[in-house]
Structure 1
């Protein structure tokens, strides 16, 4: 099928929308909003950053991300029949190894589009992980994926 797929312009370096959390203590499962921490501070492996010094990147950048989506998308038949289009926002944790964890849909139009966006995120190849103090860290990410049923 030759259905167009539009992607939103991503926010920030190669487009991750930070989840709205404020700075928290670096305890178990802490969410770190920004790095103003002393360089000698140890980064706990279960900490999650939302604004690391170096943001994670899809290998190859935005162009490669859009090519990945275009190649792998399966526009749901239900959405095509109903001519449903819209944006799906998928939130996930990107591990220090660059792998997707805990992915879930924040919002979307339904009709199979939410499930398809989630499938695409789960199947993504590993990313270049975010870094803080030179170390790879876990990062909370949100990617918007826009679907357009028009030919």
Structure 2
């Protein structure tokens, strides 16, 4: 246990990984969240302006479109060119029963390639998956019990 003078550092989503990361590099985003807008930006078509800065549609440059995206300091490098000029447009993490699953996608502003990284602890299951497995094991157990007792 940490002493009172030492602050407790919360577990990081990307520390103490038990398996390898899943990675993917592509010219289009793998995450659905900006896929159609990205195609429009690259084609020079108007895209909807972020409601926090205005309204309507506008033809935007890549820099304008990504202006509100933040850098992921845990994974700052581009998997395609190795550049460090990246911004994250998609991040999702789920923690359940002490296990985690997460995914992150960044855009390199130098080569315009998307870098996808995802991870899941080996025994990770959502609450729904966990409950389903429990019920299925109970059904199998009951069916076996019925078979042994000759009731099936």
TM-score above 0.5 = no
Larger radius of gyration: 2
More helix by share: 2
- TM-score, normalised relative to structure 2: 0.30
